[in-house]
Amino acid sequence: MKFKDYNLSQSIVKQLDIMGFNRPTDIQFRAIKHILDGEDVMAVAQTGTGKTAAFVIPMLNRLLVKPRGKYSGIRALILVPTRELCKQISQVVEEIGAQTHLRVLGLYGGVEQDKQIKSLKDGLDVLVATPGRMFDLISQGFVDITQLEMFILDEADLMLDLGFNKDIQDVIRKIPKQRQTLFFTATISKKIKSLAYDVVRDAIRIQISPQNPVSKNVDHAVCLVEMDDKRFFLENLLKEYPEYKFIVFVRTKVRAERVVAAMERVDIKSEALHGGIEQQERFAILDRFRSAENKVLITTDVACRGIDIPNMDYVVNYDLPENPENYVHRCGRTGRGNNKGQAMSFCSKEEVPFLEAIEVYTSEEVERYTISESEYQAILTDSDVDLFKNGDYDWQKLLSKNENPEGWD
């Protein structure tokens, strides 16, 4: 089935064709018709499967075919957990709706509100919002959701993880009972089910969850690397594939800055992204990464959920995540849609319990990338960093400490 076979407005079909969207992904195929028919939908699908377009396409179509009437407030609300995701989804709505008259705004904190207020006063059809800024502007009288037609909750599992349950309940109290509700989540749990039953009514349930939640489009492996040697292995990987776009995940914002500094010492350009950076600069960093002005992004898990980067070649788990679910989301930054991707993890002996937890979560052993002792030493000695000058390491001590680089005991 192709998008042109759905009962969609030609303005949407033409734009999808321009965007290169010909056939729906599995989640789109299973969700779009039900949403077009006005049914509530509860969908569970792994990252990178096309969830955003699965609700944006039919949402825009329903708003097009139904006249607004006299109501001047928001007609569709997409509630999301993070500012980065808010901006990204609003851009997707704008792009898919480019040939329609529908207006959209991404509403989030961390930036001046004057422009946002002006857009709200000019009239909107779709509001993509994080809870904090939205409730702030509701209290100021600038956001009207009293006659909302469609309520979409995206990344619901992360919303709960970040403590937004009360905010979601507050939204439900402010919007009409007679509405269409779409509930999208990457994972399912008792808490998620409980929230879903509070939000949706007689919903169509769609679940796309293979036994291994890591996308089949991603080749992922792990190699044993001592904690202090990881920077040399990252340098080696980045220089082996200079044309690739890399996203490198670390555990903390301090480590992100340190890895950027380490790469700078070997003439590799990279940028750090974490919660300690001002919001506008975070957006600018992501824009430079998307456009390939910068090809190496060193980030915390602030970028592991929902962020879609075009032509994302390679994910590196410089540090393994303590939450095994985040491993799946990190790997999901590549291999999106029908594209192929690669992910490599560096696992120190201290992190082996994290690896074991990941394998329990995914129900599958992560492929081991074995490095011989001679290869391991070669990567250390081939580094361009001037170790003596920087005083970071005792070189002889570094070379002699890896007695069992292939071991997984």
pLDDT tens string 130-186:
998 999 999 999 999 999 999 999 988 888 888 888 999 999 999 999 999 999 988
Phi, psi of 317 (to 5 degrees): -90, 85
**Residue 407 pLDDT:** 42
DSSP-derived secondary structure for 290-338? HTTSS-EEEE-GGGSSS---TT--EEEESS--SSHHHHHHHHTTSS-TT
The 10s digit of each residue's pLDDT in 259-306 is: 999 999 999 999 999 988 888 898 899 999 989 999 999 999 877 676
Reported as a pLDDT band with limits 50, 70 and 90, residue 362 is: confident
Please, are residues 151 and 182 in contact by the beta-carbon 8 Å criterion? Answer: yes
The 10s digit of each residue's pLDDT in 45-64 is: 876 778 899 999 999 999 99
Where do the structural domains in the chain lie, given as residue ranges?
A: 3-208, 218-400
Reported as a pLDDT band with limits 50, 70 and 90, residue 209 is: low
Count Cα neighbours of 128 within 13 Å in the Cβ-side half-sphere.
25
Q: Domain 3-208 carries which CATH code?
A: 3.40.50.300
**Residue 398 pLDDT:** 38
The rounded distance, in Å, linking the Cα atoms of 98 and 12 is 8
pTM metric for this prediction = 0.72
Residue 48: CB partners within 8 Å, gap ≥ 6? 215, 217, 332, 333, 335, 336, 337
Q: Which CATH architecture has domain 218-400?
A: 3-Layer(aba) Sandwich (3.40)
Q: Which of 261, 251, 268, 230 is nearest to 347 (CA)?
A: 230
Looking at every residue in the chain, the average pLDDT score rounds to 87
Least confident of 24-28, 76-80, 389-393: 389-393
The domains spanning 3-208 and 218-400 adopt the same CATH topology: yes
Q: Residues 210-227: what's their mean pLDDT?
A: 81
Q: Residues 387-404: what's their mean pLDDT?
A: 41
Examine the pLDDT at 198 and tell me if it is beyond 60: yes
- Give the position of tokens 């919001």: 279
The rounded distance, in Å, linking the Cα atoms of 92 and 12 is 13
**Residue 178 pLDDT:** 93
Percentage of the chain beyond pLDDT 90 is: 56
Count Cα neighbours of 272 within 13 Å in the Cβ-side half-sphere.
21
The rounded distance, in Å, linking the Cα atoms of 359 and 17 is 40
The 10s digit of each residue's pLDDT in 338-347 is: 778 899 999 9
The rounded distance, in Å, linking the Cα atoms of 106 and 186 is 22
Examine the pLDDT at 72 and tell me if it is beyond 70: yes
- 389: part of which helix (H) or strand (E)? helix 387-390
The rounded distance, in Å, linking the Cα atoms of 229 and 223 is 12
**Residue 408 pLDDT:** 46
The rounded distance, in Å, linking the Cα atoms of 83 and 108 is 6
